[in-house]
Amino acid sequence: MNAALETYQDQLLSIRQQVPGLVAGLSDAQFGWSPGPKRWSMAQCFDHLNVTARGTVAAVDRAIQNARSHGLSGPGPFAHSLFERLFIRSMEPPPGFRFRAPKPLAPAAAPSQPMADIVREFMGWQDQLSDRIRRSDGIDLQRTRVQSPASPLVAWSLGGMFALTLAHERRHLWQAGKVRSEMDASGFGL
């Protein structure tokens, strides 16, 4: 596996390891608690990541299939465009810029599923993403284009999409951690 893909797998492992501690000991009510108006709960952070992953994995599948059928292969190293580097950096926590989630990727106002189901779905998407990273080995990660699940007008390089997805997950897990800290400080559910 090329070095970029190994880096993405390492980042994905770190994300997977972070989640159990983040949600440990929470009730469904605590998971759904919001620190204020127009602020997301932990449930909404995870729901948003699940909705985003659904679109991302489907788009990556199409890109991988297209790359294989058109012989877009290469060993790397691969570089992200300046726009990709800047946007990926803007996604990293702590957020310097806040973005409104695009309507198709917005979380439910109050996710109705229990915490265990939402987190299980998130971990399942991590398995799917890991599989797509493995399946991308040998593909030119720079020339292969992936349609953004947020906007049909934007396409990312395959490597850029992986890096962006992982930065986006870190951002919202950081956000969920901040919500947990505020909840713990407020004494909610104690």
Residue 165: give its domain's CATH number: 1.20.120.450
Statement: the pTM of the whole predicted model exceeds 0.75: yes
The tens digit of pLDDT for each residue in 165-186 reads 999 999 999 999 999 999 888 8
Single-letter residue type at 80: H
Euclidean distance between CA atoms 146 and 60, whole angstroms: 6
Euclidean distance between CA atoms 101 and 168, whole angstroms: 11
The gap from C-alpha 180 to its chain's centroid, in whole angstroms, comes to 19
Calculate the CA dihedral of residues 25, 131, 146, 175 and round it to 10 degrees: 10
Maximum C-alpha span of the chain:
58
Instruction: Give residue 107's pLDDT.
Output: 83
Nearest by Cα to 186 from 39, 30, 24, 46:
30
What's the number of domains the chain is made of? 1
Single-letter residue type at 9: Q
Instruction: Give residue 52's pLDDT.
Output: 96
H or E segment and range at residue 157 = strand 155-157
Euclidean distance between CA atoms 112 and 118, whole angstroms: 9
Range of the domain at 168: 3-186
Residue 156 in 3-state DSSP? strand
The tens digit of pLDDT for each residue in 23-55 reads 999 999 999 999 988 899 999 999 999 999 999
The tens digit of pLDDT for each residue in 118-156 reads 999 999 999 999 999 999 999 999 999 999 988 888 899
